[in-house]
Structure 1
Amino acid sequence: MNKKVKYIDWGLTDYKEAWDKQEAIFNETVALKTKNRTENTALETPNYLIFNEHPHVYTLGKSGKPENLLLNEQGLKDKEATYYKINRGGDITYHGPGQIVGYPILDLDNFFTDIHLYLRTLEEAIILTLADYGIESGRYEGFTGVWLDADNDKARKICAMGVRCSRWVTMHGFAFNVNTNLDYFKNIVPCGIDDKDVTSMQRELGYVLNMEEVKQKLKGHIANLFQMSII
């Protein structure tokens, strides 16, 4: 099993460009696994952990409802935002500057073949990163992602998740609100949940976070939890 993971920071990247790049890496890995199976080879499959930010964009997952986008075409233009229907799980969410969007493209045969454990492990990395800054967070039963005050009526989401997995190769991932402009969430029903709030580290702490510092802490927790070697 190859536990080496190549870390890449794409910086601020157009969503469609990032999606296309993800798909290319994903398809190459799946093709390599298919070759190993059909030709009885044992070629090593690569793993990637990609962080980036996106210009304002709304994305709708396979199980999402289009009506959860509360803007028409002109409204999107006014907000300087784009909109895509994509091939991950989950409903609608927002990506924008100040948000760490993580794309682990992993061959889970190199780690563990359990998609639920995969999601819980990503959530745990976010929870530990928040704890580094004194923010207590956790899970909300029945929902994916990371929440604050999930046990009471002040529940608010700080990290959304939506993944695709085929032949145990993953793509898409998580959207972690660090210094995110939360006003953009007012234009959707986030993740299809209409009675819960959305928050960010900046809102909770009252100051602008150093994005690079948060990325490094998060990358470290992901590496430790998955027992991977970042290269």
Structure 2
Amino acid sequence: MSSDLPAPEWRHSTGLIPYPDALAEMEARAAAVVAGTANELVWLLEHAPVYTAGTSAVAGDLIDARFPVVPTGRGGKYTYHGPGQRVGYLVLDLNKRGRDVRCFVHALEGWVIAALKQVGVDAFRADGRVGIWTIDREGREAKIGAIGVRVKRWVTLHGFSVNVSPDLSHFGGIVPCGLPEYPVTSLAALGRAIPLETFDAALALTASGFLETLSCAAEIVA
């Protein structure tokens, strides 16, 4: 595994990107990375309101389809994307960074946790629960970020979402990630209202640590 890999392209899209358009772009970019005709990609964006269904989605977790529902190939159950939420899609070549999906997900979680710390939020992993967690103003464990990935020919797709200032009532149409006993929160709900650009800067500041952490996969398995 090389420590001299070129940095991924860092793309920031403004406006609300329709989810199907982003999905098509990710798939095309991943195919190009596999073919060796494109660089890796970190893509930061916002979506128009949408519910997405992962490969483990359960029909009963869709309570009120008030927004479009789009099946997707990522892992996980139902989640919501919408304005005020920072979505990060990663098209990274694990053939070059280590064929270890668990290491990749762990590193991704660590990156989001580190970025949240930069903006004053203590976040953590929770055993047995996918995602990024924090303590809300009522003292409850609450989900502030979601992780959902897919790996195709050892190239990653999808990534993370962090609730900066979305309308949290929009999560009411689903059981977020199939965990009805835990609330969803946001930076704004925690009293840390910031522009998305401020959180983007925190992601940029901590990105090198994320990429370095991927080196925990020391061998590439054929």
TM-score, normalised with respect to structure 1: 0.84
1:15 to 13, 16, 19: 19
* 1:220 corresponds to: 205
Instruction: Please tell me the residue identity of whatever aligns with 1:171.
Output: L
Q: Which 4+ runs in 1 deviate beyond 3 A? A: none
State the identity %.
32
Aligned with residue 63 of structure 1, among 56, 66, 85: 56
1:138 corresponds to which of 124, 132, 156: 124
Q: CA–CA distance in 1 between the matches of 2:57 and 2:157?
A: 18
Q: Match for 2:29 among 25, 35, 41? A: 25
* Amino acid across the alignment from 2:63: L
Q: What amino acid does structure 1 have at the position aligned with 2:8?
A: V
Within 5 A, what are the aligned runs for 1:43-58?
46-58=39-51
Q: Could you tell me how far apart the structure 2 residues matched to 1:225 and 1:185 are?
A: 28
| Cα deviation 1:205-228 (Å, max 9, x = unaligned) | 2x5311111112112212332139
Code of the aligned partner of 2:96: N
Q: Which position in structure 2 is the counterpart of 1:39?
A: none
Identify the residue that residue 89 of structure 1 maps to in structure 2.
75
Max radius of gyration: which structure? 1
2:101 alignment partner in structure 1: 115
Q: Aligned to 1:5, which of 8, 19, 31?
A: 8
Aligned runs of 1:182-193 on 2, under 5 Å? 182-193=168-179
What secondary structure is seen at the aligned counterpart in 1 of 2:23?
A: helix
Task: Give the counterpart of 1:210 among 189, 195, 198.
Answer: 195
8 Å Cα contact 1:10/1:51 also seen in 2: yes
Q: CA RMSD in A?
A: 2.0
Q: Counterpart in 1 of 2:85? A: 99
The TM-score, its normalising length taken from structure 2, stands at 0.87
Report Cα offsets for 1:37-85 as digits up to 9, x if no partner.
xxxxxx576210001000110000011112211114xxx2xxxx21101
